[in-house]
Every structure is written in structure tokens, then in C-alpha cells.
Amino acid sequence: MPSQSYWENVLHETIYDLIVVGAGLTGQSTAYFFKKEYPKAKILVIDRGFFPIGASTRNAGFACIGTIGEHLADLEIDSEGLLKNRISNRYEGLNLLRETLGDKAIDFEQTGGWEIFKDSNEFSKSREEVDRFNQWMEEITGEENWYEVKTYLGSPAIFNRMEGMLHPGKMIKSLYELNISLGVEFRLQTSINEVNTQDMEVRTDEGISIKANRIVLATNAFTSKLLPKRTIKPGRGYIFVTKEIDNLAWKGTFHYDKGYVYFRNIGDNRILLGGGRNVDIESEITTDFGINDSIKNYLIEFANEKLNLPKNWKIEQEWSGIMGFTESKSPMVEKLSDNCLLVAGLSGMGVALGMKLGKEAVKHL
């Protein structure tokens, strides 16, 4: 690597008021709310990708809070109080996201969310809990009658009227443009290989050190690469979008099998289908992008046998994203030193939680 010029040295010797590592929804939200609180602050956001690499722009575009099936599964590992708090944070987070960026900018549509069932026992178990969780949601949000027992295309279902869908790419682009307008700096395609929490500096793969008064690591699934001892597990998620399907019947957002499978329409004639990690969950604990054939085949079979897509349907595009999971599914907000904070582990609910978590991170700084 060539030596730096005098002019480059002057730039690199800048001490930022805040460096955020990770330009996903949580990281950019941290930068945004810090800049709103301290308008004169010098803020730098660093990400290793041309686009944020992780989950923020690689998810399914659900604006969801949780199905009854998922809530029941979570109660097996968490207390009622923790789960209620997590649901409250998701609800507040989605409202904050919509208020900050605007529904039009992120293509938000309040379509409602459907949990469909193919197992009568699972349906009976969830149906019996509808009144209980409606009481929860009224207590948490002030809104009545969130969940309602219905059918969708012949399948027993529970409808959540408050959920919807959005465009994750436009979400991140809108937040990026908002931050740029406020004077937040970005260094994209820049990999960090070391964070010194005592001397308050980050070091890039090129050997450049950048100093700050405060550092936030919003690295979610990739936290272990910088902090190997942290217990955030990566979870890879597979998604595909079909080519156009004439007379596509499925319209809205849908969950199946406690949220492990999810699908929605893209426009009028395409369907997005993803998930299935539980088919081979150990293999999906990875930070490597890629496609697991057993999961892909499971979802293709699901599309054929459960969704009854026409025989000639085809995949147009497929990809994977990497989520970060904590043991309890509650995000991790941890001080690594007096002025260095880790904010990660959104456990598959980054769209709902990311902006609120970024705003809360500023309070800890």
C-alpha cells in the first residue's frame, strides 16, 4: 500500500465525536439520533459493503410484530414480562420508523399479517390463545382486537390487522439520504479488523486507524468477528422471488410454522418466499452467504404442496441474509467501556427493532 499524503494524514487525524461500525438500520439510526441530539457532532459510519451486508437490505420486507404461534414458542424460553416488553419495543420501533422516514418513502402498506396453519392441533392451540393475546396487545398498545380467527384460501388462519410490508432497500436508502443531509459521513467498502475500546480507535484492513470519542458497534450477526466471546449467533436466512404468476391469489404477508416460514406478494404477480432455517438449523449458524439445498427444496415443496402454486412457476432471483440471534431473542445493549457500546442481536426482528434500538443507544452514550 502506498504511503499516505499530507492531505490524507490531515483527514485521518480527525477525531470523531462518534464512530458507528455497521451501516444497517440500527447503525444508521444511532448516527441519525445522535446527530439530531448533537447537531455539531462529527459522526462517521463505516460498513464493509457497497450496501450494508447483513440483514437490513436482505430481508423479506415484513413490518411485523409477531404471530401467536411465535409468541407461544417464545414463552417456552422467556418470561411473560420479557416477551411483553419485546412486543412493545417492536410496536414502538415500527411506529418510529414510519414517523421518521414516512410511509411513502419506504413503500409501507398496512396489509395485515396472516398466520396460516396446515396442522389442526397447532391451529387449535393458537386459536385458544386469541383472547389472551388480544388483551396483551390492548394493554401494550391501546389498540383492540389485533388478532382474529379466519380462513385464507381454505387454510385456517389467524389475522393480525396491524401488520404490513415495506421495501427494505428504500428504507435504508431513505435513512442514508437523511443522514447525508445532516452531515453524517460514511466510509463504505471499508472492513474493520480491530476495535480498541480503551484508546477509542478502529483499525481497517488497510491498516488505517480512526479515532473517536465514542464508538458504537452495530454489527449484529458479524459481532463475533470483532468480539469472539460475545454470544450472538449468526442465522442465515434464504429467500427467493418467483417470476410472474398469472392470477396470483396470495396477497399480503404470511407466516407459517411459528414464523420459520414467511411469504408475501411482490406487486400483483410475484411471490417472495423465505425461511425454513429449522430444517437444518445447525448448518445455518454461519456468517457465510450461500444457499442450503435442503432448505431450498423444502421451500419449493412448500410452494407446491401448501401454497398450490401453478406447476410452471419458476424462481427468478434467490439470495441469503445473515441475522444475529441472542439466546433469549432480546437485543444486546452492552457497554464495552465507558464510551464504547455494542448494540446487536436483533433476532430476526431488525425492521421492527432497529431504529428504536439505535435511538436508545444514544441514551447510553
Per-residue pLDDT for the chain (365 aa), expressed as one digit of tens each? 566 788 877 767 789 999 999 999 999 999 999 999 999 999 999 999 887 777 899 999 999 999 999 999 999 988 999 999 999 999 999 999 999 999 999 999 999 999 999 999 999 999 999 999 999 999 999 999 999 999 999 999 999 999 999 999 999 999 999 999 999 999 999 999 999 998 999 999 988 899 999 999 999 999 988 888 888 999 999 999 999 999 999 999 999 999 999 999 999 999 999 999 999 999 999 999 999 999 999 999 999 999 999 999 999 999 999 999 998 888 999 999 999 999 999 999 999 999 999 999 999 99
Under DSSP, is residue 187 helix (H, G, I), strand (E, B) or coil? strand
Cell of 178: 437523511
Q: CA-CA distance, 287 to 225, in Å (whole number)?
A: 9
Alpha-carbon gap, residue 348 to 11, rounded angstroms: 37
* Continuous H helices in the chain: 6-12, 25-37, 68-74, 80-101, 120-127, 130-141, 168-182, 223-226, 293-305, 350-364
The Cα 192–Cα 46 span in angstroms is 8
**What is the dihedral sign for C-alpha 352, 358, 361, 363?**
negative
Where, residue-wise, is CATH 3.30.9.10 in the chain?
111-163+233-325
**Which residue in the block uniquely carries the three cell numbers 441530539?**
37
Q: How many residues does the chain have?
A: 365
End-to-end Cα distance, the chain: 35
Is pTM beyond 0.85? Reply is: yes
C-alpha 58/C-alpha 67 separation (Å) is: 21
Residues forming CATH 3.50.50.60 domain(s) in the chain: 6-57+169-231+328-364
111-163+233-325 fold: D-Amino Acid Oxidase; Chain A, domain 2 (3.30.9)
CATH T-level fold of 6-57+169-231+328-364: FAD/NAD(P)-binding domain (3.50.50)
* Distant-in-sequence, close-in-space partners of 297: CB < 8 Å, separation ≥ 6: none
CA distance 50 to 220: 17
Cell numbers for 85? 416488553
Task: Give burial (CB, 10 Å; 0-12/13-18/19+) of 152.
Answer: middle
Measured between alpha carbons, how far is 111 from 63 in angstroms, rounded to an integer? 10
Are 191 and 203 contacting, i.e. CB atoms less than 8 angstroms apart? no
